[in-house]
Chains A and B, each alone.
Chain A
């Protein structure tokens, strides 16, 4: 199980980034190996469709679960198609949100939490 968290930095104590397509980094936690890896989000540049590009990058990384602040409709459609579980409304740090996920304290969604263009606002 690989869990990706939208983050403002590359560390476990980095705050969760409320944006998805335009967030700077994803911190990836591998539940099997316990390893941590951070990737820069390729979606941040570009004129539009950032959420789509980001979702595809996570699918390429074989992510199973994504923890985010907010996520828009195009990203949700792509994540759903990639069979990546979405947990939105996450706040706090990367570590805290991973702990909450492991405890089963988060609720899965398959709906966008914001309109399109949110990350740009």
Chain B
């Protein structure tokens, strides 16, 4: 089983459009959306949900008004400013249970907390595991891990060799959780100063965790000078640039129709994505 993760550091570089196209090229394949905060891959793959599961976060504190004497000890001690006027703000409570232990009246209990849902679905390219984290919920790293565990099980069950994962943006907790055990992380960047800045930070993160990386420069022809800067940086860091994709409004048009751009086979961008996938496939399958 081989796991390919597509990440970007910076959002909006075209990561999901490329993941969707890879899904079409690799089919049958297991697909995963690890951007549990703001998932988009389903908009291209139109999954038919087969299973829905609850995801529990740490239980959150709740105050029993009848027992509370208003001593405010919990409010003083809560490091997350989650308690005021005898009420717990569930969006700020991190579930540490500190207040539960120290309340002199035992007026605080911990309540089960469904903080998201994850799904196993069918798509035209294979099974897809995806999730939706509740609004204002913590724990995205754990939900990412849960989603990935189920993707591996789906791959085993269906005897599929490749898992393609659309990763979250940034370099924080959910990204770290996406990286562990990955065979190759494809970093999709764009030729802008922001893109270059974020590329360097996400490369640093992959190095920190010892993950093998490759780079795709999307919309490379929007600024060829910045594209050269990225290529030089990658050469210095010994990272292969596996693809340079042209800027093409057809990618957006395909998205408006809810399809990966690769399905419009005649396009130049489709050929570029296809060539990039073949290169990556050879790398992860050897």
Contact = CB atoms under 8 A, between A and B. Distances in A.
Asked if chains A and B are in direct contact (CB within 8 A), the reply is: yes
Interface of A: 46-48, 114-118, 120-121
B200 interface: no
A114 to B, nearest CB: 7
B204 interface: no
A46 B148 CA distance: 18
Nearest to B178: A117
Given A47-B95, A114-B181, A121 B145 contact: yes
Given A47-B57, A47-B142, A115 B181 contact: yes
B79 interface: no
Contacts of A48: 141-142
Interface string B129-145: 00000000001011001
B180 A115 contact: yes
B225 interface: no
A47 B180 CA distance: 17
Contacts, number: 32
B286 to A, nearest CB: 22
Given A47-B95, A48-B142, A121 B58 contact: no
A46 B59 CA distance: 9
Interface residues of B, number: 15
Given A47-B57, A47-B139, A115-B209, A121 B95 contact: no
Contacts of A121: 145, 148-149, 152, 180-181
B192 interface: no
Contacts of B139: 47
B145 A120 contact: yes
10 contacts: A47-B57, A47-B95, A47-B142, A48-B141, A117-B141, A117-B177, A118-B180, A120-B142, A120-B146, A120-B177
Given A47-B57, A47-B142, A115-B181, 11 more contacts: A47-B95, A47-B139, A114-B180, A114-B181, A115-B209, A116-B180, A117-B145, A120-B145, A120-B146, A120-B177, A121-B148
Contacts of B177: 117, 120
A60 B140 CA distance: 31
B58 A47 contact: yes
Nearest to A46: B58
Contacts of B146: 120
Contacts of A120: 142, 145-146, 148-149, 177
A120 B146 CA distance: 6
A64 B139 CA distance: 34
Contacts of B95: 47
B7 to A, nearest CB: 16
